[in-house]
Structure 1
Amino acid sequence: MEEVTEAINNVSISESHKKNRIQVSNTKKPLFFYVNLAKSYMQQHDEVELSALGMAIATVVTVAEILKKNGLAVEKKIMTSTVDIKDDSRGRPVQKAKIEIVLGKTANFDELMAAAAEERETAEGEEQS
C-alpha cells in the first residue's frame, strides 16, 4: 500500500511540474519571448523548468543567464541527458543532447517585477502626453 501512495504522490508532483515547463525549440520565436514567458511562469509557480534538445540548448542557457544576471532567478538544478529521437528520413533513431534547467525566484523577484511594470507605465504615460 505504501508503494501505491508513493506512486500517486510522484504522479501528482510530475504533473504539477508540467505546468511550469517551457520547451524551447529552434523556431523563429525571439529570445525575449522565452525570457518573458519564464518570468510569467515564475510569478505563477515560483519556479520554471526550461527544457531543450540539440541546437535549442544554447537558447535555454541564454534565457537562464539573462534571468540570473537581472537578479530574477537562481539556478536550482541542471540536468543533461541524451535522448533517442526517431528520424523518419534516416529510418533509425538519432541521439540528441537534452538539457533541463530549473530556476527559482530570487527573494526580490516580486520587487523587481513591480519596479519594471511601474517603469513601463511611466514610459507609456510619457508617450501619450
Structure 2
Amino acid sequence: MSGDTAAAVQAGGDAQQAVGRNRIQVSSSKKPLFFYVNLAKRYMQHHDDDVELSALGLAISTAVTVAEILKNNGLAVEKKVRTSTVDIKNEISTRSIQKAKIEIVLGKTNKFDELMAANDGDGTAGDGVGKNDKFDELMAANDGDGTAGGGNKQRFVIDFPTIFISSPLLDRSS
C-alpha cells in the first residue's frame, strides 16, 4: 500500500482526501452529493487531466450518481470504469472482508470551460445548485397554462388517489 493510500485508510477513508493526483474518494455518508460534484468540477477546472472517482461498498451508488450528473450536464465524458473487490481487514477480528470497489475516470468535454463560465456568470459559481439549462429551456417554452409551448401541447398532470376514511366518530348522520 502506498503512503497516500495508507494515510487515507488510517484517516478512516475520509472522503474528501484526494489520494493520488486527481482521485476523489467518495463516501456515502460523510459529505453531501453535490460536494463531490463541485470538487470534481474544481479538479477538472484547475487541472487539464482527468479526475477519478473512487468508492467502496455503499458509496458506489454515490460515485455513479456524481459521474452521471457531470455527464448529463455536459461537463465530463466517461473514459474508463474499473470494478474490483478489495480485502478490508476488520479491526475487531482478524478476518478480512471483501468489498466492491469502483473507479470512474472522467475527462473534460470540449465545452467544459464554456459551460463553467456560463455557470459562473449566472451567480451559481458552478455549485450545481443554480439554473439547469434544459430546465430553463423548458420553462421558457412553457406558455403559462401547464403545457409546453410551440406546437407541442403536452399537459403535465399529477393524479393523486382519493382516500375515504370511515369512522363512527366522523359519522354525523345521527
TM-score, length of structure 1 as denominator length = 0.77
**Structure with greater Cα Rg:** 2
SS at 1:57 equivalent: helix
Match of 2:27 among 22, 25, 28: 25
SS at 2:101 equivalent: strand
SS at 1:18 equivalent: coil
Cα shift at 1:18: 1.2
Q: Partner amino acid for 1:33?
A: F
SS at 1:23 equivalent: strand
Q: Which has the higher strand share?
A: 1
1:81 and 2:84 equivalent? yes
Relative contact order (C-alpha < 8 Å, sep 6+): which is higher?
1
**Partners of 1:80 and 1:96 in 2: how far apart?**
11
User: Residues 2-81 of structure 1: matches in 2 within 5 Å?
Assistant: 18-46=20-48, 47-81=50-84
Structure 1 portions without partners, runs of 5+:
1-16, 122-129
**Partners of 1:64 and 1:40 in 2: how far apart?**
14
Q: Which has the higher helix share?
A: 1
Structure 2 portions without partners, runs of 5+:
1-18, 125-174
Q: Partner amino acid for 2:47?
A: H
Report the equivalent of 2:156: none
Match of 1:94 among 94, 97, 108: 97
1:105 and 2:116 equivalent? no
Structure 1 stretches of 4+ moved >4 Å:
none
Cα shift at 1:19: 1.6
**% same residue:** 72
**Partners of 2:52 and 2:35 in 1: how far apart?**
15
Aligned residue-pair number: 105
TM-score, length of structure 2 as denominator length = 0.58
For residues 59-118 of structure 1, give each alpha carbon's deviation from its aligned partner in whole angstroms, at most 9, with x where no partner exists.
Answer: 000000000000000000000000000012332000000000000000000000000000
